[in-house]
Amino acid sequence: ADVKIAVIVGSLRKDSFNRKIAKALMSLAPAGLVLEEVDIGQLAMYNQDFDDESIPLAEWTAFRETMKQYTGVLFVTPEYNRSVPAVLKNALDVGSRPYGQSIWNGKPAAIVSVSPGGLSAFGANHHLRQSLVFLNVPAMQQPEAYIGNVANLFDAAGEFVNAETKEFLYKFMLAFAEWVNKVERQ
Ligand code: FNR
């Protein structure tokens, strides 16, 4: 049976490099893994006052219900000021509450960090891992994916300049499919 994976992109930008990489990863997923992007841009900033069951914000409830349909999560994120963008942290926070009802618990995940710079959003990649430890999200350890100098990876037509990039992303998705299977068998 198909395994559904939510793709969460940490950038809301129209021409986002992260979304381009996410789309490439989605197209390279092995058979049996169905990837769909789940939008996080509409989520209001998390406020614990609204944990009260009688007044949940509609978009938070919709996000939590949507996420429950997915077995795993693929995070593709830029780095903002050496950490994860607020929009991504907000989605983690919204999904983690009300207390005891976290939608993240136990979902296998993988992280890809993307930057036009040379440090490949390493800081965001690892800050995200730190939150996932607490959220009990088993995040794939290897291979790691740090995509730096991302603007140079695409040609004018939006295709990858080097076959190696595609090969790397393909192997990453193969490993992620194996990781999801491994976690789900436990
Ligand atoms: C950035 N950028 C950035 N890049 C980086 O490698 N490390 C960083 O700490 C930061 N900090 C940062 C803060 C803020 C507020 C912005 C808006 C940007 C640059 C960032 O990597 C660049 O804008 C990417 O293009 C963002 O990813 P998308 O939108 O192309 O997917």
Bridge-based pairing state of the strands 109-114 and 33-37: unpaired
Dist CA 52 CA 9 (whole Å): 28
Mutate to test the pocket of ligand 1, among 9, 19, 81, 82 (most ligand atoms within 8 A of CB): 81
The three-class DSSP label of residue 184 is helix
Q: ipTM of this predicted complex? A: 0.99
Name the CATH architecture for the domain at 3-185. Answer: 3-Layer(aba) Sandwich (3.40)
pLDDT of residue 186: 85
Residues 54-70 pLDDT 10s: 788 999 999 999 999 99
Terminal-to-terminal C-alpha distance of the chain: 17
Q: What is the tens place of the pLDDT at every residue in 70-86?
A: 999 999 999 999 999 99
- Ligand 1 pocket: which of 8, 14, 80 to mutate (most atoms <8 Å of CB)? 80
Structure tokens of 166? 């595609």
Alpha helices in the chain (DSSP H): 17-27, 58-68, 86-95, 122-134, 163-185
Burial of 5 (0-12, 13-18, 19+ CB in 10 A): buried
CA–centroid distance, residue 80 to ligand 1 (Å): 5
Look at residue 147 in the predicted model and tell me its pLDDT.
Answer: 98
Residues framing ligand 1 (Cβ under 6 A): 11, 13, 16-18, 78-82, 115-117, 119, 121
Percent pLDDT > 70 in the chain is 100
pLDDT digits (tens, 9 = 90+) for 124-174: 999 999 999 999 999 999 999 999 999 999 999 999 999 999 999 999 999
Mean pLDDT of 96-104: 96
**Helix, strand, coil shares, percent, the chain, to 5:** 40, 15, 40
Q: Where are the domains of the chain?
A: 3-185
Q: Which residues contact 35 (CB under 8 A, 6 or more apart)?
A: 5, 6, 7, 25, 26, 29, 74
